[in-house]
Structure 1
Amino acid sequence: MTDTRIAVLIDADNISPKYAAALLEELAAYGVATVKRAYGDWTTASLGGWKSELHKHGIVPFQQFAYTKGKNSTDSALIIDAMDLLYAGNVEAFALVSSDSDFTRLATRIRESGKRVYGIGARKTPQSFVAAVDTFIYVEVLGQEGEPGDADEAPEEPTTPLPNLQSLLTRAVNATSDDDGWAHLGAIGSYLRSLDSSFDPRLYGSPKLAALVEAQPYLTTSGGGSSGVRVGLKGKTTARKAATKKS
């Protein structure tokens, strides 16, 4: 955990309240949520599930009436507040909690000002928004309160297929390895995040990157402890070491 101050701005119209505790716990690994706000029309029955979560987690509700049918005024309210917070300079990072692509330009604008941006949303989130943030976290990998099928949850929408894992890890090892064919696990993780802001080993069934790497039959690992885990492509590290000895 770091002392980075994070403004957590939640589009309550777009995210189920059952993820409230889990998303805040996830963000605690990146910093301290000094601002926690949720936006929506709290007079509607559809947001009823959020009300208990607001009190439980100290999230401040911001009322935004839908002035015109079919228009989402919640997005505008969140964007205006985000810009106010940006110019106030009291936070170092923003967490935009939504699956809505309307926040794509907001994310890029905040990053242009040198602030870090985290996105949290469902797998249905458009790629434009996912790519606009530094790190995107899918709610499907988070723990949750309640059960699937809650009354407040929107019907499931098609999701984007996950990138091919073998291709991703092979590229990462090749890009970060030394002359002997070994790459440090930390460097691989950094490369994967820069390649895809939404990369998360939990999407592939592993809690940590180390466990995911060790489970792949085409990879080999070495070391650990203070020196860190090193990763190589099977058959490639031995060949490279042998070539070095001959020279």
Structure 2
Amino acid sequence: MAKPTHEARLAVLIDADNASAQHLERLLVEIAKYGTATVRRAYGDWTSTQLAKWKPELLAHSVQPIQQFSYTTGKNSTDSALIIDAMDLLHGGTVDGFCLVSSDSDFTRLAARIREQGLMAYGFGQRKTPKPFVAACTMFVYVENLAVAEAAPPPTATPTFKKDPALDKLLSEAVDTAAGDDGWAHLGVVGSNLSRLASDFDTRTWGYGKLRDLMVAHPSYDVTSRKSGEGKQPSAFVRRAARK
């Protein structure tokens, strides 16, 4: 059974052949939200000039480079080495979850196997990442959203809401499932539903840092704060807005 998120020991396994060094610092900051990166490894052929940009980043962030020679052209031995190490860690019981950094669908079965074992499988990759790998992860974060967060507008600036049919469908399912008899749904439960419905759901995709901000901006929903029980602090609730 995985520990609470703030105590979780995470293994960060990076497919350096299929990830960019420029995202490493922001990536580790994001990972810190989910636990402590007790294992940090990057896999690749470090004799290759193609990975030259990685080397200073690995040193700066205490990431261990794992050498994997490309023995045969067209065969990705890096993937095999990463998967073997992941399975050793999985059965060793020294970590509570994995952060798989790649945009490669070859890790789809690995992510599914980690989840089957009851551990968290966080994926990090570009928007071009194949959907099967995204869906196999417990949560998937697009690295483009990390870059957007760094260059976010000041708090006083309000993003312009843009209608998105896919988002509308997702929110509708999440809110309707969580709604009580009065139509109001606890925002925390809505957030949990969204994570289960779509592993890559991230409010930053639509320019909002928090789910509440997104729901407030959405014209189809009302948001309010109220107490969910005696002596409890007010919580955010959301419901479908009345049609005008």
Q: Give the TM-score, by structure 1 length.
A: 0.86
Deviations 1:3-50 (A, max 9, x none): 100000000000100110111110101000000000000111110110
Q: After TM superposition, give the deviation of residue 227 of structure 1 in Å.
A: 2.2
Answering whether residue 123 of structure 2 is matched by residue 119 of structure 1, we say yes
Describe the shift of the 1:104–1:167 C-alpha distance in structure 2 as closer, same or farther (beyond 3 A). Answer: same
What is the rounded CA distance, in whole Å, between the counterparts of 2:106 and 2:70 in structure 1?
Answer: 16
Answering whether residue 74 of structure 2 is matched by residue 70 of structure 1, we say yes
Paired amino acid for 1:181: G
Q: Which runs of 5+ in 1 are unaligned?
A: 148-161, 237-247
Q: Secondary structure at the match of 1:143?
A: helix
Residue 58 (structure 1) aligned to one of 37, 41, 62: 62
Q: Aligned residue for 2:158?
A: none
Paired amino acid for 1:23: L
Between the two proteins, the alignment pairs up a number of residues equal to 221
Q: Aligned residue for 1:196?
A: 198
| Seq. identity, % | 55
Q: Secondary structure at the match of 2:46?
A: coil
Describe the shift of the 1:51–1:191 C-alpha distance in structure 2 as closer, same or farther (beyond 3 A). Answer: same
Answering whether residue 100 of structure 2 is matched by residue 96 of structure 1, we say yes
| Cα root mean square deviation, aligned | 1.8
Q: After TM superposition, give the deviation of residue 174 of structure 1 in Å.
A: 1.0
- Please list, as runs of the form range in 1=range in 2, the aligned pairs for 1:1-247 lying within 5 A after superposition: 2-143=6-147, 164-223=166-225, 226-235=233-242
Describe the shift of the 1:26–1:163 C-alpha distance in structure 2 as closer, same or farther (beyond 3 A). Answer: farther
What is the rounded CA distance, in whole Å, between the counterparts of 2:205 and 2:45 in structure 1?
Answer: 32
Of the structure 1 ranges 91-100 and 217-226, higher mean CA displacement relative to structure 2 is found in 217-226
What is the rounded CA distance, in whole Å, between the counterparts of 1:224 and 1:177 in structure 2?
Answer: 15
Q: After TM superposition, give the deviation of residue 143 of structure 1 in Å.
A: 3.1
Q: Secondary structure at the match of 2:147?
A: coil
Describe the shift of the 1:105–1:163 C-alpha distance in structure 2 as closer, same or farther (beyond 3 A). Answer: farther
Describe the shift of the 1:203–1:64 C-alpha distance in structure 2 as closer, same or farther (beyond 3 A). Answer: same
Q: Secondary structure at the match of 1:164?
A: helix
Q: Secondary structure at the match of 1:114?
A: coil
Q: After TM superposition, give the deviation of residue 114 of structure 1 in Å.
A: 1.4
Paired amino acid for 2:32: A
Q: After TM superposition, give the deviation of residue 224 of structure 1 in Å.
A: 5.7
Paired amino acid for 1:7: A
Paired amino acid for 1:86: L
Q: Which runs of 5+ in 2 are unaligned?
A: 152-163, 228-232
What is the rounded CA distance, in whole Å, between the counterparts of 2:31 and 2:64 in structure 1?
Answer: 17
Paired amino acid for 1:209: L
Q: Secondary structure at the match of 2:66?
A: strand
Q: Secondary structure at the match of 2:88?
A: helix
What is the rounded CA distance, in whole Å, between the counterparts of 1:224 and 1:64 in structure 2?
Answer: 56
Deviations 1:40-92 (A, max 9, x none): 00111110110011001000000001000111110000000001111111001
What is the rounded CA distance, in whole Å, between the counterparts of 1:114 and 1:196 in structure 2?
Answer: 18
Runs of 4+ in 1 over 3 A off after TM superposition: none
Q: After TM superposition, give the deviation of residue 167 of structure 1 in Å.
A: 1.7
Q: After TM superposition, give the deviation of residue 163 of structure 1 in Å.
A: 6.4
Deviations 1:131-167 (A, max 9, x none): 11100011010038xx9xxxxxxxxxxxxxx861122
What is the rounded CA distance, in whole Å, between the counterparts of 1:41 and 1:77 in structure 2?
Answer: 11
